[in-house]
Amino acid sequence: MRSLREKVAHLPTEQREKLATFVRAVPPSLRYGPVFQQSLRELRKARTVPSWAAAEREHRLGQLLSSAAGTDYYGSEPGYEALREAGDDPLERLSRLPVLTRGALSKNSLRMLTVPEDRVQLTATSGTSGDPILFHLDRERGAAEWAYVYDAWHRATGYELNDWRLFLRGAADLPGGANHYLQRATGELVLRVQALGPECIREQWGWVRDRGIRYLHGYPSALSYMARLVEEQLPDDDWRHQIRGVLAVSEEFTPGEQETFERVFPNAGISNFYGLSERTCFASMDRDGTFRSEPLYGITELLGEDGQPVEVGQRGRIVTTGLMIQGQPFLRYDTGDSAERVGTDAWGQPTFRDIRSRRGREALIRADGSLFATTSLNVHGHQFLCIRRFRFRQDVPGKATLRVEPTADAAAEELEDFYQVMRWRTEGQVELDFELVENLEIPPNGKDRLVDQHIEGATATWA
């Protein structure tokens, strides 16, 4: 069942805004609907009563496994015999299933459906890999998902459902091809990431200040870029001290970005969570950078290359089983990401940190064809103050160009210092050239990349 907010959000822009006054007048408890309210109660109960959550999770997993056993794919493929052992412990049965790859998922999505095709929606995503996959999601899912997002934002920043947000979007289709649009029905000032720049920031930040917006929502790279522009171009503007929340989503969140947010918006809480387009995991980040998976959203495993759970301090691939989405079960789905295990939560799931993509192109290629991980290239500290953003471009193995968009007052010696720091970090790995540019273009989807990789077949295997 869709909430009023979800129905309105899916309307064409013109129709949606005609209803804005009515929608905003409806109390949030009614606007977001019963599914939202029930999901919010359950996820909060799970957090406060772990024993109830453990029993409820086991019950929902058992139902999911039984449902999957009746599908064409899970019911016939080798390795899924445990699905038909209905009397055994669901978690133990799950542990005996094979890990589902992205390729198998995309190829067999229709064969995995537990409901008629008209009750699901075909979805495509490429994550950070540039390698699209296809799968199906329940059509009626938005209200429950919003409960998890709202809860994460509220706990970290105090965000309430009626609060306005600046929403930095990449692939934003705005009326008339505009760079920004005020969506009163959803309480969002939408700004295209590609429109950010030093020549526009005074006007753009003025929209935020004049509307009294205290929450900034979008990709961490875009939010960080805006923060640096505000700091540089508007040093005497006090509204940045009124920002109460930075809602960073859909990208890797780096220590350098966190440092920028804490400096530019000193009174803001920071919310970041690990989520997937496939809707199999939702894990909020603590202040210390530890991610904790919500037990009723899905089941998370960290597995080593041998397929066994990793120990604390070890890195493992993130494998997830979604409990929210029933129309197409994702059983032990390999997300393509890895993380370091920190500990174990109250439901036996790993807590983790330092999430990295194992299939993405966020790596430089040495002359011998091997991968050089970019973790050490995420800069924070005084060397970063002279630049707005930077990127590596690589066209041949063993060589790369550090492309930098400097601040307006960047001194030549500061930029040289930054270049030398990066040369030192890549010494013996790749030969690094240096290029200053007026503006680093952002991809159409609005997600910035650290490495603009142009070597065919250059993908990471294990981060």
User: For 44-64, what is the mean pLDDT?
Assistant: 95
Does residue 460 surpass a pLDDT of 50? no
Among 15-24, 97-106, 134-143, 309-318, name the most confident range.
Answer: 309-318
Residue 16's pLDDT band, with cuts at 50, 70 and 90, is: low
Give the SS3 label for residue 372.
strand
Does residue 2 surpass a pLDDT of 90? no
Residue 219's pLDDT band, with cuts at 50, 70 and 90, is: confident
For the stretch 255-310, pLDDT in tens is 888 888 999 999 999 999 998 888 999 999 998 889 999 999 999 999 998 999 99
- The region of weakest confidence among 10-24, 129-143, 246-260 is 10-24
Strands (E) across 294-450 are located at 298-303, 315-322, 333-344, 350-357, 363-365, 371-373, 387-396, 399-406, 431-436
Measured CA to CA, the distance from residue 279 to residue 294 in angstroms comes to 12
At 265 the pLDDT is 96
Phi, psi of 329 (to 5 degrees): -65, 135
Residue 377's pLDDT band, with cuts at 50, 70 and 90, is: low
Measured CA to CA, the distance from residue 123 to residue 36 in angstroms comes to 22
At 461 the pLDDT is 39
CB 306 within 8 A of CB 462: no
Residues 6+ apart with CB under 8 A from 74: 68, 80, 83, 112, 329, 331
Distances (CA, A) of 251 to 43, 163, 273, 320: 24, 23, 9, 18
- The region of weakest confidence among 81-85, 392-396, 437-441 is 437-441
Does residue 462 surpass a pLDDT of 50? no
Residue 390's pLDDT band, with cuts at 50, 70 and 90, is: confident
Measured CA to CA, the distance from residue 97 to residue 81 in angstroms comes to 8
For the stretch 223-257, pLDDT in tens is 888 898 899 899 999 999 999 999 998 777 878 88
Does residue 454 surpass a pLDDT of 90? no
pTM: 0.77
CB 415 within 8 A of CB 353: no
Among 11-15, 109-113, 249-253, name the most confident range.
Answer: 109-113
Residue 102's pLDDT band, with cuts at 50, 70 and 90, is: confident
Does residue 142 surpass a pLDDT of 70? yes
CA 39 to chain centre: 21
For the stretch 405-436, pLDDT in tens is 888 888 898 899 889 888 877 777 789 999 99
At 128 the pLDDT is 45
At 6 the pLDDT is 62
Mean pLDDT of the chain: 84
At 426 the pLDDT is 79
CB 347 within 8 A of CB 57: yes
Residue 53's pLDDT band, with cuts at 50, 70 and 90, is: very high
Virtual CA dihedral for 322, 63, 294, 248, nearest 10 degrees? 30
